[in-house]
Structure 1
């Protein structure tokens, strides 16, 4: 039975490392006390926020991890920019922020202008669709330190203080709306590659998934960016808010329970997710190939739900209409409870219909 830990990734150690890193970061917050740019303390948040008077400036970082190795394996770079942009832009929107800029760093074993041109063209296109600019970046050729290429980015956004989403208004009975993801986004790829390598060998990326695509082409499904669609609900900077979105979770590392729980920590609530999307076929097939349990799949992959919004029941209909207008497939996937757990009705390969319970710590 394949697990994320077997593939080389230990989520618990990653979480502990994040706690250590943020504890050190918080020690610097006093450096701006009483000054412009004073930080908010946001343990477990998707982004960081700085006080700039009547608005917060937010900033966060991420990358596309080993998904890029697959792009390297088959020489396909045109959609990687969407993956990179989504990882940071859709973290910023979790507090209601409109993303303004995305900068990026490319650390590579060998500089290839053609490859970098394709990468940046994709990122430029993704940013244009979201009304985001790329103010600059950095390319480092470091053959003695790296094999392949690592692509990371930083997003900067702004949000009016009165529109800042801090999850403090989440209440029992509120609706949870899921935004569909037809691919892995950029998380859990160590397990994806581990399963496929064990099933098909080193050259797994050339194996057929179906009559049209190879496995590599399939798992490289570009990431849909939700930012602009969600801004239709919460409003761009200085624009009116149409929906009082109470909480947002971007389903990235940690899967569904590991990210959804962030919405509920402030109010000591939880969730029942009993109407999740049917996971994409590629995820179910990978579960089958690697004997990946449903519990493992939901804690490593998004399983078809890339973002979750919390709104009052009265706002559900309009929220779904606005998301549809923004080109995002969405549905009510559950509701807020007063129990500090995430309870999932599985739609995975192994135990469809089984109740999976994850405690919020």
Structure 2
């Protein structure tokens, strides 16, 4: 590799193009009055049942291509569940049921193995696979590639009051298990261009996304929750803090130190989780209680200024 480092847009993914499309969708839809306003956008709250229903949908993304190559079905299943589960938690929901969609060239043994892993993982987190769809579409999917999407339904346990966030509130980072399931077009490009053998890395590159079940135990103490996904830690903080600033300090984990060999820090912080898969905002008086249950770490405070220190 030369002096020029890799970028997410250089791998074919344009986050701003995605933002434009999301804005367009918001402009063309009409939200019915039985949908409660939820400013972070992590999940949708439906107000026509008691308790209220929370739902969301997400996929594994191009990380699935590596799961297919290495047949890491347990990690793939955890990725699919977590990308939905953690989003529902962000709005104060408790995930209950799961629906899957597989788009494949032709059903074969690997899909059986994936579904078996998915059911086992759902059981670990007190969820059930209640429905799904598998579509053989050889005209769309190549013989070796397929895609998986998940749809999660939960019940609203406690609305997260992000409007109560104040300057001086503490920001807690919950450690990630790795890159989770975002930024993989860039990671895969680096692996291919640099001829990297993932088996020789000092960490498990394909580790499944951490599922933050413990956060449901401290809903009453939390003012804001951000799942660090697309757009990295920068977008996650913005989604929960709005126009407020933050001052945080990040201690680099081994997998982040590795990616920084190939990606500049500004690119990394707007693409990857930087070691933290979920961000909590809480009042100072509740810090000790939340840390004890979540195994998180204080990484900063809500501030009128914005600054990120990399250690």
Other-structure match for 2:141: 146
- Deviation of the 1:300 alpha carbon: 0.7
Distance 2:199 2:44 in 1: 42
Q: Which runs of 5+ in 2 are unaligned?
A: none
Please list, as runs of the form range in 1=range in 2, the aligned pairs for 1:1-361 lying within 5 A after superposition: 1-25=5-29, 27=30, 29-30=31-32, 33=33, 38-52=34-48, 54-112=50-108, 114-147=109-142, 148-160=145-157, 163-200=158-195, 204-205=196-197, 208-210=200-202, 218-226=204-212, 228-234=213-219, 243-265=220-242, 268-274=243-249, 276-279=250-253, 281-288=254-261, 290=262, 292-323=263-294, 329-339=295-305, 341=306, 343-347=307-311
Change (3 A) 1:126 1:24: farther
Task: Work out whether residues 74 and 121 of structure 2, in 8 Å CA contact, stay in contact via their aligned partners in 1.
Answer: no
In the superposition, relative to structure 1, how do residues 91 and 245 fare at CA in structure 2: closer, same or farther (>3 Å)?
same
Quote the Cα distance in structure 1 between the aligned partners of 2:304 and 2:239: 15
Deviates more, 1:120-129 or 1:147-156: 120-129
Take 2:226 and 2:42, find their aligned partners in 1: how far apart are those partners?
Answer: 8
* Aligned-CA RMSD value: 1.7
Q: Following the alignment from structure 1 to structure 2, what is the Cα–Cα distance between the partners of residues 308 and 206? A: 28
**How many residues end up aligned between the 2 structures?**
305
Report the CA distance between 1:338 and its aligned residue: 2.7
Distance 1:150 1:90 in 2: 20
Question: 1:331 Cα deviation (Å)?
Answer: 0.5
- Give the SS at the match of 1:303: coil
CA distance in 1, matches of 2:167, 2:51: 29
**Shift of residue 231, structure 1, vs aligned partner:** 1.1
Q: Distance in 2 between matches of 1:206 and 1:155?
A: 31
Inter-CA distance 54–338: structure 2 relative to 1 (3 Å threshold): farther
Alignment TM-score, normalising by the size of structure 1: 0.80
Task: Measure, in 2, the Cα distance between the counterparts of 1:225 and 1:194.
Answer: 26
SS in 1 for 2:163: coil
Please, what TM-score do these two structures have when normalized by structure 2? 0.93
Q: Is the alpha carbon distance of 1:206 and 1:259 closer, same or farther for their aligned partners in structure 2, counting shifts above 3 Å?
A: closer
Return closer, same or farther for 1:42/1:232 CA change in 2, 3 Å cut-off: closer
Note the residue ranges of structure 1 that are not aligned, 5 or more in a row.
235-242, 324-328, 348-361
Aligned partners of 1:5, 1:126: CA distance in 2, in Å?
Answer: 33
C-alpha contact (below 8 Å) 1:81/1:121 kept by paired residues: no
String of CA shifts for 1:68-124, please: whole Å, max 9, x gaps: 000112233232110100000000000110111111101112211x21222122222
- CA displacement at 1:206 relative to structure 2: 6.2
**SS of aligned partner of 2:148:** strand
Distance 2:10 2:199 in 1: 23
Rounded to whole Å, the distance in 1 between the matches of 2:251 and 2:98 is 30
User: Quick check: 1:74–1:205 contact (8 Å CA) kept in 2?
Assistant: no
